[in-house]
Structure 1
Amino acid sequence: MSVFESKVLVNKPIKDVYDFLADMNNHGQLMPENVIGWQADKDVASFEIQNITKLSLKIDNRITNREIRIVPAEKPPFEMELKWVLADLGNQTEAVFTIDANLNMLMKMMASGPLQKLTENETQRLAVIFS
């Protein structure tokens, strides 16, 4: 498995950050501009990464104020798991976003940069939303 991770401090209490991330409707606000056709409900989101692939993701597990695990809702181009892990720091929240992806050598060469950039983009946008 290849692991891509980004961490950010958010200037809001953990409950606010958790409530936002626990609803897939809100994840569209975290996506980069090459993500189009975002459709979501509380548990599932479908979208297209422009000129690359279509994906459907679902929240597989929620641990209140601690963790949100997201997995493919349909067969993806490669096995993956996305996870938000939150830590309560009083009036701040530490949010760590991780993508675990099962990439073969060719996919790893092609996808590592974009997947790392995606984790960083999502954590930065989360911080901006709550600033």
Structure 2
Amino acid sequence: MTIESPSVTTQKSTQEVFKFLSDLKNFEQLMPENTQKFEVDGDSFLFGLKGMPEIRLVLKEKTEFSSIVLGAASSKLPFTLTAKISEKDEANSDVQLLFDGDFNPMMAMMVKKPLTKFIETLSSNIAKI
């Protein structure tokens, strides 16, 4: 299952966005209002949204100034969340989030709507940084 956020423009350079997203503590600023738990531990962070199970994301890969890949810490629900960063001009950049999960059809049907809303919230909050 793949979910793509709309591409958003930030008033920051690709270097600034990359540095911001590389610091996992900053993801707390991007989380939805209904976040009940957020804890950073090294190269991973744990978050919990109201009415949802807690999820731990691990920093899997960084490509300087162009992408950051986070993945699920648990192999029970394998997925990745990729932030693609591209230069719009010297002072602005575009960011798009891509969610890619390997779920069975029943699970995909259950999580698609809340995940899409979550990805869109993260994306719109990135535009505000």
1:70 match: secondary structure: strand
Q: 5 Å matches for 1:28-43?
A: 28-41=28-41, 43=43
The number of residues matched between the two structures is 127
Match of 2:27 in 1: 27
Match of 2:87 in 1: 88
Aligned-pair identity in percent equals 26
Report how far residue 76 of structure 1 moved: 5.4
Please give the alpha-carbon distance, in whole angstroms, between the structure 2 residues aligned to 1:55 and 1:18.
23
Q: Is the 8 A contact 1:45 1:58 kept in 2?
A: yes
Q: TM-score, normalised by structure 2?
A: 0.90
Please give the alpha-carbon distance, in whole angstroms, between the structure 2 residues aligned to 1:113 and 1:40.
26
Report how far residue 34 of structure 1 moved: 2.6
> Unmatched 5+ residue regions in structure 1?
none
Q: 5 Å matches for 1:34-113?
A: 34-41=34-41, 43-73=43-73, 75=74, 77-90=76-89, 91-113=91-113
Q: Is the 8 A contact 1:23 1:43 kept in 2?
A: no
Please give the alpha-carbon distance, in whole angstroms, between the structure 2 residues aligned to 1:111 and 1:40.
24
Corresponding letter in the other structure for 1:125: N
> Unmatched 5+ residue regions in structure 2?
none
Report how far residue 51 of structure 1 moved: 2.4
Corresponding letter in the other structure for 2:4: E
